[in-house]
Every structure is written in structure tokens, then in C-alpha cells.
Amino acid sequence: MTMIRIVAETEDTVTVSRKDFSKLIEDLETAEDVAAIRTRRAHEREVGNSAARTDYLTGSEARRLLDGESPLKIWRQKRGLTQRALAEVARVAPSYIADIERGRKPGSVLALGRLARALRVDIPDLVDEHRRQQMA
């Protein structure tokens, strides 16, 4: 590991060069990736590979997501549910699901929580990138 050189330090702050800061960020992202892989592998060992893989997006599903299609729609279809069936399980109005999928409404935290539980995903998995940036 490369040594990070502290340029200045106060009680509340530490200043490092841009190069060192970028290296720290890169190392952090690598550590997060390694942790995610370990978590996923542990999950696969626990439930079995085929069961765990039902929670992975296929290449075409990932492409749809990258092309801007609604994450809620992609996960709903992956689980084989109609809007009406998902609405019943999640206790959310079908019209509200349609509005979220079409981008007319962002979805309340309560509704997204119910939908995420019904689809067995995390709330961030149902929020598109544009909405995620607005929330940050």
C-alpha cells in the first residue's frame, strides 16, 4: 500500500494531495467491491447457487436498467408479477405502481418499502439513478 502524505492537519481536518485523495477513494471502492463479493458468495453458500442467482439481473435485464427503464418494472417482471398482483402483495394501488414505473411519481418511502419487501430486493434497487441522485 502506498503511503499517504498529510499536507496539513488541524483538530478537525486533514489535508492530502489530490493524487493521494484519489488513491484513497480508489482503495475504498476496491474494499467495498471485495466486501460485496464476499457477502454475495456467503449468500450463495447459504442458499445455494441456483436459488441465489434468481436475485441477479441477467445481461438483458441489466441492459434495460442501464438504458433507463424503470427498476421497479424490471424487478416486477423478473419475479413474474403483473402490476395488479404486485399491488395486492405489497398493499399498494396498481395505479401507483404504474405511475412509478412510468416515472410520473417517485414513490414514497412507505410504498417503496412495501414493494421492495414483496419483490425481495432492497429499496435502492427500485430507485432509478436520476431519482437516487436527487435523494443524495
Give pTM, 2 decimals: 0.69
For residue 14, list its beta bridge partners.
9
Residue 25 CB-half CA count within 13 A: 7
Per-residue pLDDT of the chain (136 residues), as tens digits, is: 568 899 999 999 999 999 999 999 999 999 999 999 998 899 889 989 888 888 888 999 999 999 999 999 999 999 999 999 999 999 999 999 999 999 999 999 999 999 999 999 999 999 976 555 555 4
Q: Which helix (H) or strand (E) holds 14?
A: strand 14-16
3-state secondary structure of 79: coil
C-alpha span between 123 and 23 (Å, rounded): 30
Q: What backbone phi and psi angles, to 5 degrees, belong to 60?
A: -70, -35
